[in-house]
Amino acid sequence: MATHTLSILKPSVNNLTTRIFVRAAGLDFDEVDVWGKKSTPEFLAKDPADLTPLLEEAGLPKGALWESCAIMQYLCNKHGLDRFYPTDPGERAMVDSAMFYLVGTLYPLVTRATYPALGFPQYAGEVGTSDADDAMKVKAQQDAAAALAGPLDVYRAWFLDGRQFIGGDHPSIADIRFAASLEFLRAIDYDLPAWAEEYMASMEAALGEAYTEPATDVRGYIDYVKSQALQQA
């Protein structure tokens, strides 16, 4: 049995984040695809949030950890992976800020803009799960897509600020989280600015198969839902 076990869902970019990371970091890991196998008493006993990715590793106080960014932070701390998570407090704070801004601000917009196209459930209390009519749901999706431009440009102007990666010359864990999240924008053919296209290409070139292999699952799922939508049109 490997030192690290990741329970994952292959079409998910939250999961893609950690799948790229364990490969790029060269860690010993097993992946367990839990599609259709979550929400069981056994799974909930180790992950009461019922969320993936889930890391199981002997050094964790409860043996298990969810939240993609926390998983990467833990593994960097545990294995001294400073090239992905700088030890200088100021540099580390920038990486943390980029990840919190993603999870708290950018990604909720990504979900509202793309989940309808991806066929993923939206969150309770949002227009997408309300009794609003289809026109209002389409408008909410379009509003979210339009609102993406602002936070996206914050990454260009502030976190990247002329550097190739948020981590400088080498992708950091914030870069992995950011690039993986942008993959979902292909589901709505979002018109990414040229800098973001270049950035994604640089990420894939820098990380090679560690990026491409798990990203193929997300891309394959997006191709599938697009082909289904075309058939229904």
**Residue whose CB is less far from ligand GSH, 99 or 207:** 99
Residue 218, CA distances (Å) to 30, 118, 133, 215 in order: 19, 10, 30, 5
Element (H, E) at 19: helix 13-24
CB of 133 to ligand GSH, least distance (A): 26
Within residues 158-197, the interface with ligand GSH by CB under 6 A covers none
Q: Does 14 bind ligand GSH (CB under 6 A)?
A: yes
Burial class (CB in 10 A: 0-12, 13-18, 19+), 137: middle
Q: Which of 5, 27, 51, 96 touches ligand GSH (CB under 6 A)?
A: 51
Calculate the CA 39 to chain-centre distance: 21
Binding segment for ligand GSH (CB under 6 A), chosen from 44-52, 80-88, 164-172, 190-198, is: 44-52
Q: Does 64 bind ligand GSH (CB under 6 A)?
A: no
Comparing CA positions, the residue from 180, 22, 40 lying closest to residue 99 is: 180
**Residue whose CB is less far from ligand GSH, 38 or 156:** 38
Q: Does 9 bind ligand GSH (CB under 6 A)?
A: yes
Residue 211 is encoded by which pair of tokens? 């990026």
Task: Give the integer Cα–Cα distance in Å for 189 and 209.
Answer: 24
CB of 216 to ligand GSH, least distance (A): 17
Comparing CA positions, the residue from 18, 54, 24, 23 lying closest to residue 39 is: 54
**Residue whose CB is less far from ligand GSH, 53 or 214:** 53
**Residue whose CB is less far from ligand GSH, 52 or 114:** 52
Binding segment for ligand GSH (CB under 6 A), chosen from 21-29, 46-54, 149-157, 193-201, is: 46-54
What length does the chain have? 233
**Residue whose CB is less far from ligand GSH, 52 or 73:** 52
How many angstroms separate the most distant Cα atoms in the chain?
Answer: 53
Q: Which of 12, 73, 141, 181 touches ligand GSH (CB under 6 A)?
A: 12
Say if residues 50 and 38 touch (Cβ distance below 8 Å). yes
Q: Which of 19, 24, 52, 57 touches ligand GSH (CB under 6 A)?
A: 52
Say if residues 20 and 31 touch (Cβ distance below 8 Å). no
Q: Which residues would be at the binding site for ligand GSH (CB under 6 A)?
A: 9, 12, 14, 38, 50-53, 67-68, 103
